[in-house]
Amino acid sequence: MSKGVTAKSEDYARWYTDVIIKARLADYGPVKGTMVIRPYGFSLWESVKDAFDCRFKETGHENAYFPLFIPKSFLSKEAEHVAGFAKECAVVTHHRLIADPDGEGLVVDPDSALDEEVIVRPTSETVIWAMYKKWIQSYRDLPILINQWANVVRWEMRTRLFLRTTEFLWQEGHTAHATAAEAEEEARKILEIYREVAEDELAIPVLTGLKTDAEKFAGAEHTYCIEAMMGDRRALQAGTSHNLSQNFAKAFDVTFQNEENQEQHVYATSWGVSTRLIGAIVMVHGDDKGLRLPPRIAPEQVVTVPIGKSEEEIGSVLDYLETPLKEMAERGIRCHVDDRAGVTPGFKFNEWEMKGVPLRLEVGSRDMKENSVTVVRRDTGEKMTLPKAELSKEAPRLLKEIQQSLYEQAKTFRNENTYSVESYDEFKSIIADTSGFVKCGWDGDPDTEAAIQEETKATIRCIPFEQEVDGLTCVYSGKPAKHEVIFGKAY
Amino acid sequence: MSKGVTAKSEDYARWYTDVIIKARLADYGPVKGTMVIRPYGFSLWESVKDAFDCRFKETGHENAYFPLFIPKSFLSKEAEHVAGFAKECAVVTHHRLIADPDGEGLVVDPDSALDEEVIVRPTSETVIWAMYKKWIQSYRDLPILINQWANVVRWEMRTRLFLRTTEFLWQEGHTAHATAAEAEEEARKILEIYREVAEDELAIPVLTGLKTDAEKFAGAEHTYCIEAMMGDRRALQAGTSHNLSQNFAKAFDVTFQNEENQEQHVYATSWGVSTRLIGAIVMVHGDDKGLRLPPRIAPEQVVTVPIGKSEEEIGSVLDYLETPLKEMAERGIRCHVDDRAGVTPGFKFNEWEMKGVPLRLEVGSRDMKENSVTVVRRDTGEKMTLPKAELSKEAPRLLKEIQQSLYEQAKTFRNENTYSVESYDEFKSIIADTSGFVKCGWDGDPDTEAAIQEETKATIRCIPFEQEVDGLTCVYSGKPAKHEVIFGKAY
């Protein structure tokens, strides 16, 4: 199974794609730039989705569903927004196909042209604020705390599985508030949920902070982000939360009557994470044998490979394991038994390593004689023998340890590849030679930011919340720094 | 709140729309024919979705996600399929907008025309079978039991909230099998899941059976269905399960090597239910006060309206109810407390009746004095007084009773409006005067079916599994009947 996986060190991009295809997370769709999420990948996405969804609901958010199609005219209402999205929109222009009068197959019926073309949503601010205009009259109608799980489309020319595809799945939250302070609190609250899920569930350490104006969402007042380092030391924007201030309320003329009977524009936030997080899980934790999944989100946490030459031998192994398997299931551990016939144990080991299952049980006649089980950890490869009676008690502890260990490994890797620099030469050599996060002073000038990007391809990934700017100078201009920032090459 | 709801008896179609809007299940989207599912409606859909999803998973199905966009050429590969869907397809022809060179706003960039137009999926058989061709080589790769929850688009000219909208949400299962018998078993197994969820969760009695060739899915060998009677005595197709035989496997040339090393085409099924079920819940159970939701799928099962003149009085009611509310929550009952200030109890009663919450608690100072609670059933309007200490034990029993009562009411209504007829005159007068289900013999001739539809607008909704055809004659031709069938006017 692991045959055909390029080594990480040899070609990171190919390794990434190989793992996704071999682990059956996803496949390429027939239309260029589209992707099929296969059952194993989708099950992983369901785990990730649930981790967010329950936290959104606990904090008072409700799910809803808004239309896929947006009138073309809506997109142009907010100036920055249109500039950000118009160049990559899928446009529906007709609503009927007919048999080709000149040959075989189908052609678009010219008589079915739409009066106004519709856009397949690249994001839903515009259609949602058109609805909020209908729903909001008074302060009593606020706040509105809505989220939706949906597909969106951005017509990308260069695509990559999970990271950049024409269509992707995501959640997009859209909230409406009576005051600027409430909107700001909401945007920060969501960022904290994003951080928590990334770190505690996906075992991905993230930096939290602000985007620069050049990197913020098209239409936002400001954008918060969680930013992670991938295994090739490049940065991935893993989630963003936008304070939209009154920008969309003004564009769509959404006002409310406040408690003092004054008419005011509504304040807003929007925020999203997407299936790109699956790509992050692959890149942060994967190795040359395939995926290594954090136990909390792994579709299967323990896989059992019974070893035996005949159906009877395999049957007796399964009998032998009946009690601990039952006990583990009762403790809520997701267990899978691979009792496929006609496939060697070695093949199965490779396959489940590729699929990143955290714990593997290998049990055969010797284990049965010794009343033990052989357990293999996917994170370290460590093989251990446990008394059978202890398995169901040990498994939760081991899973917790693996979760923690994957997080620590990723954090160590990130910290080892984060450099505080003072000179621009040093900056350039790190970005060019090893890549990684470069921490330095920035004068706050967009021209400085643009010049650095032009020369090095590195961008400001994040202005971290935690920073020390006193006495710092800009790495490029030498002027006093306005912020301490993190530069990196981004996906 | 119930102001502005048209009486059911006065105008059923307007009553239906009024209830949906007033109960905040949904609203009209900005593009003609599109719909916004509001949080209350979406929460109901989440309940319905979960009821299906857990049953699909229990029977070995896995979720996945296939692309929204389908190459135009795929649609024409299966002859009946293209005929069924080509006339209502949203077609994406371009991928970029630019500023209008002649004025304000945006226009489609003519330079962004796609080489091959893509279709927004009306259903996913074609894209899925293109993938199955890649994934299936041997009998070891079968069966494939995949489901997806997705949005689909059918460009409808006459639309209606939940029942017929340009875009709707659904699940579509797509399975691949080695034998015809397995595919047939699968199609029937799914139909049984559909029946079970409709009857046991949605409290909607359904007929199960076969569609005629005229009514079956475009591309299916045969289609099974669950068919329900709405409150206006019209029929609603509530779910369909198709045995596709080898039709799509042949169209996409999907073969496998069987255990005897022979190359064979794969057998298939597909099956779906959609947000149209929400419309069915409204129409089967609703009354002039609004929704009546079956407890098992109601987003909130018990709503508490504390009655008092001041915040203190309301606070003391909530203190008084603390224990039973906690106990009900512990029993898994979904409880909501409506402690909004500035809204009268009467307004709240109307609102929660409109929203169909099965049980309402009205508690004020008199109840507190008597150590009791006042409970109102939404299904019957019955008001009763219970000792406070018994509430948390009584609530589950009452909810169960309401679930059962809604089902029985709907079943009685359907049975009372189902007529066995022997003459075509009788048939015509029932369809024209009262509507309802008409049970009669049919000679099996599509021309007979077409003639009846032409003359009466009634169609064969279902050839029920349970039937007695001996000695029966066709209601139209007088020839010996091939089937006993159910006619009705359909949504």
Where b means 16+ CB within 10 Å and e means fewer, B398-435 reads bbeebbebbbebbbebbeebbbebeebeebbebbeeeb
Predicted local confidence at residue A151, as pLDDT: 98
Tracing tokens 């579509």 back to the chain, one arrives at: B172
Residue A312, in any domain of the structure? yes
SS (H, E, C) B428-453: HHHHHHCCCEEEEEECCCHHHHHHHH
Does residue A337 have a pLDDT over 60?
A: yes
Of the residues A235, A258, A285, which one is the last residue of a structural domain? A285
Q: Using one digit for the tens of pLDDT, what is the confidence trace for A345-368?
A: 999 999 999 999 999 999 999 999
Q: Is A130 in the same domain as A189? A: yes
Residue A84, in any domain of the structure? yes
Closest CA to A44 of A227, A286, A234: A286
For an interface test with B, give the residue of A53, A69, A70 to mutate (most B CBs within 10 A).
A69
Q: Which domain holds residue B366?
A: 302-396
Contact between B210 and B223 (Cβ < 8 Å)? yes
- Type of residue numbered B441: G
CA gyration radius, chain A: 26
Domain of residue A447, CATH code: 3.30.110.30
Residue A244, in any domain of the structure? yes
Element (DSSP H or E) covering residue A337: strand A335-337
Kindly determine whether residue A73 and residue B106, on different chains, have CB atoms separated by under 8 Å: yes
Kindly determine whether residue A151 and residue B108, on different chains, have CB atoms separated by under 8 Å: no
Q: Is A449 in the same domain as A308? A: no
Of the residues A285, A316, A346, which one is the last residue of a structural domain? A285
Residue A411, in any domain of the structure? no
For B68, the closest of A89, A104, A151 (CB atoms) is A151
CA dist B250 and B125 (Å) reads: 13
Predicted local confidence at residue A84, as pLDDT: 87
Angle at B288 between CA B282 and CA B293, to 5 degrees: 35
State the complex-level ipTM. Answer: 0.96
Please list every residue in chain A whose beta carbon sits closer than 8 Å to the beta carbon of residue B117.
108
Q: Is B460 in the same domain as B349? A: no
Predicted local confidence at residue B3, as pLDDT: 64
Report the SS3 class of residue B249. Answer: helix
CA dist B454 and A475 (Å) reads: 81
Where b means 16+ CB within 10 Å and e means fewer, A65-94 reads bbbbbbbbebbbbbeebbebbbebbbbbbb
For A92, the closest of B86, B92, B135 (CB atoms) is B92
Does residue A2 have a pLDDT over 80?
A: no
CA dist A164 and A161 (Å) reads: 6
| Residue ranges for chain B with pLDDT beneath 50 | 1-2
Strand A91-94 and strand B91-94: the pairing is antiparallel
Kindly determine whether residue B34 and residue A155, on different chains, have CB atoms separated by under 8 Å: no
For A88, the closest of B37, B62, B96 (CB atoms) is B96
Domain of residue B263, CATH code: 3.30.930.10
Separation in Å, CA of A23 to nearest CA in chain B = 13
Q: Is A258 in the same domain as A322? A: no
Does residue A3 have a pLDDT over 70?
A: no
Structure tokens at A325: 């398997």
Cis amide leading into B446 (omega within 30): no
Query: What totals of helices (H) and strands (E) does chain A contain, helices first?
Result: 15, 25
Q: Is B474 in the same domain as B329? A: no
Contact between B258 and B162 (Cβ < 8 Å)? no
Of the residues A285, A318, A350, which one is the last residue of a structural domain? A285
Strand B97-99 and strand B106-108: the pairing is antiparallel
DSSP A78: S
Separation in Å, CA of B408 to nearest CA in chain A = 31
Residue A400, in any domain of the structure? no
- Type of residue numbered A289: K
Q: Using one digit for the tens of pLDDT, what is the confidence trace for A137-168?
A: 999 999 999 999 999 999 988 889 999 999 99
Where b means 16+ CB within 10 Å and e means fewer, B20-54 reads bbbbebbbbbbbbbbbbbbbbbbbbbebbbebbbe
CA dist B68 and A92 (Å) reads: 13
Closest CA to B111 of B96, B121, B99, B100: B96
Average pLDDT value for chain A = 96
Report the SS3 class of residue B216. Answer: coil
Tracing tokens 């398997």 back to the chain, one arrives at: A325
Mean pLDDT of all residues in A382-407: 97
Does residue A1 have a pLDDT over 80?
A: no
For A89, the closest of B68, B97, B130 (CB atoms) is B97
Kindly determine whether residue B89 and residue A82, on different chains, have CB atoms separated by under 8 Å: no
Report the SS3 class of residue A226. Answer: strand
C-alpha to C-alpha distances, B483 to B210, B211, B263, B442, B466, nearest whole angstrom: 11, 12, 37, 6, 10
Q: Is B31 in the same domain as B157? A: yes
Kindly determine whether residue B89 and residue A98, on different chains, have CB atoms separated by under 8 Å: no
Q: Is A309 in the same domain as A276? A: no
Residues near A487 by beta carbon (within 8 Å), at least 6 away in sequence: A427, A431, A437, A438, A439, A440, A452, A458, A459, A460, A461
Provide the Cα torsion A173, A179, A185, A191; round to 10°: 30
How many domains is chain B partitioned into structurally? 3
Element (DSSP H or E) covering residue B79: helix B79-85
Kindly determine whether residue A95 and residue B93, on different chains, have CB atoms separated by under 8 Å: no
